[in-house]
Amino acid sequence: MPSIYQLKPAFQNLLRPLVKQLYHKGVTANQVTVLAMLISVALAAYLLLHENIAPYLIWLFIPLWMLVRMGFNAIDGMLAREFNQQTMLGAYLNELCDVISDTALYGCFIAFGFIEPILLVAVIFMAILSEYAGVMAPLIGQTRRYDGPMGKSDRAFCFSLLALWIVLASKLNSIISEQILHSVANGLLGIMALLLMLTISNRVRHAIHSK
């Protein structure tokens, strides 16, 4: 199914000159992976502690960092594959750091009282489960699965939309009522939860039936 992940090759081509420069400066794939995780956790903690700063403009850091983080993820992968930096530790770091970063960046939205905790926890849980479903494919002799429609890049896009919606609603509070703010925010989380269930199903099914 369609996914933003399918744009990755074009994104990598744009970053290739930068990746070469980083390699020649001695930067390693594992360093990039860990740095991205540390920034993600630090940003999530900062937002969680400062969520009441009206009109929530600091939450614009979410879409900005989500985009930059996609670059980090592409860079560490290219350094590993194209410059012979693939290691067993790197494979673990790549998966674990992504899960830690995702959990932190999604979880900080609990700061808003109008976000339904059950919906947010469901999205976080199924996001982790979807990545686990993808990682398990090699156990049955298949390649790691990245099927959509709610892969990592798609989730980043949706949470960026959620942050933008919260900022917009806070700026236009004379037009956008609290009820509309709540309904749209939680509706988006509900849609994500449904699409994550489909994503998990797709990854398991395609891994089993892949030849």
pLDDT at 3: 59
Q: Are 97 and 37 in contact (CB under 8 A)?
A: yes
Cα separation, 86 vs 76, whole angstroms:
10
Is 141 in contact with 101 (CB distance < 8 Å)?
A: no
Residues of the chain predicted below pLDDT 50: none
Give the integer Cα–Cα distance in Å for 130 and 155: 11
Burial of 182 (0-12, 13-18, 19+ CB in 10 A): middle
| All domains of the chain in start order, with CATH | 4-209 (1.20.120.1760)
CB 145 within 8 A of CB 137: yes
**Integer angstrom CA distances of residue 42 from 48, 132, 166:** 10, 24, 21
pTM of the full predicted structure?
0.92
Say what the pLDDT of residue 109 is.
Answer: 96
